[in-house]
């Protein structure tokens, strides 16, 4: 009896995670359509690359324990909003806002929360645009609303965040003060780079003007 209980739990959890995978697939399709259409209309690709991930079962359970969440699927569904994550890396800051606005204004996307760490960076210098959205996934039993976390940032912000993330975990969340200082300085340099690149871009192409970027491909998603 215990064995069949464990089997059923595993089956339920697998199905639970599948819903998140389908939601990620839906978002990736939306991003791909946006990118293709933008490229077609403006000959400009605002999206450099896209990554997605599902939180591992271990990581979900660790967060459940850390936050004291009831370890049932409905409670996990309600309280953990980053099981499905899609990270979109854009060329310029203006593109991050434009991509977020375009994605979240679609009829089947419900915007639950945004955190603008670009306008309000974290104390360590972390910058990114975060949004929690809900989209329907159509299963054989009917539609299921699924939560996806979007992170939208520029290449410079992404570069900084990847390195900071590695350092943070290497030092087990206790980053030595001299590295914290270096990272803060690097964040300021990344911000300056973003501003200069955007200025250059405007200077060369004019604000809102279509740009011709032959290297941009709809296939490099
Ligand atoms: P991973 O491995 O990328 O998934 P919480 O979700 O509870 O941890 P909160 O405050 O509800 O935190 O969410 P928030 O602030 O929107 O941040 C969640 C995610 O944003 C993190 O997920 C990171 O991916 C990213 N993030 C936030 N702050 C930082 C930061 O200072 N540095 C870096 N590099 N990334 C950050 P995870 O689960 O921590 O990591």
- Is residue 149 annotated as a catalytic residue, yes or no? yes
Give domain status of residue 41, yes or no: yes
**What rounded mean pLDDT belongs to the chain?**
90
Number of Cβ atoms within 10 Å of the Cβ of 1: 5
Give domain status of residue 211, yes or no: no
Give domain status of residue 18, yes or no: yes
Give domain status of residue 218, yes or no: no
Instruction: Decide: 48 in ligand 1 pocket, CB within 6 A.
Output: no
Q: Residue 82 C-alpha to ligand 1 middle, in angstroms?
A: 9
The confidence band for 221, taking pLDDT boundaries of 50, 70 and 90, is very low
Please write the tens of the pLDDT for every residue from 12-59: 899 999 999 999 999 999 999 999 999 998 888 899 999 999 999 999
If we measure between CA atoms, which residue out of 34, 18, 21, 12 comes closest to residue 148?
21
ipTM score: 0.90
Q: What CATH number should be reported for the domain holding residue 188?
A: 3.30.460.10
Phi and psi (nearest 5°) for 144? -125, 125
Give domain status of residue 213, yes or no: no
Q: Residue 19 C-alpha to ligand 1 middle, in angstroms?
A: 22
Structural domain that includes position 161: 2-205
Give domain status of residue 13, yes or no: yes
Number of domains in the chain: 1
């Amino acid at each position: 009896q215990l064995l069949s209980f464990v089997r059923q739990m595993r089956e339920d959890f697998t199905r639970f995670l599948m819903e998140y995978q389908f939601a990620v697939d839906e978002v990736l399709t939306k991003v791909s359509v946006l990118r293709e259409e933008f490229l077609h209309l403006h000959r400009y690709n605002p999206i450099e690359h896209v990554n997605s991930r599902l939180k591992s079962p271990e990581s979900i359970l660790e967060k459940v324990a850390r936050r004291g969440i009831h370890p049932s699927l409905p409670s996990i569904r309600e309280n953990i909003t980053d099981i499905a994550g899609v990270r979109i890396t854009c060329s310029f800051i203006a593109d991050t806002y434009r991509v977020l606005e375009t994605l979240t204004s679609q009829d089947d996307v419900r915007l639950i929360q945004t955190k603008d760490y670009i306008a309000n960076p974290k104390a360590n210098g972390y910058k990114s645009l975060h949004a929690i959205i809900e989209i329907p996934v159509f299963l054989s039993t009917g539609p299921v609303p699924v939560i996806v976390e979007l992170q939208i940032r520029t290449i410079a912000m992404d570069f900084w965040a990847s390195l900071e993330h590695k350092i943070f975990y290497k030092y087990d969340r206790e980053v030595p003060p001299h590295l914290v200082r270096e990272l803060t300085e690097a964040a300021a340099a990344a911000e300056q780079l973003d501003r200069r690149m955007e200025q250059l871009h405007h200077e060369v192409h004019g604000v809102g003007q279509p740009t011709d970027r032959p290297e941009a491909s709809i296939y490099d998603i």
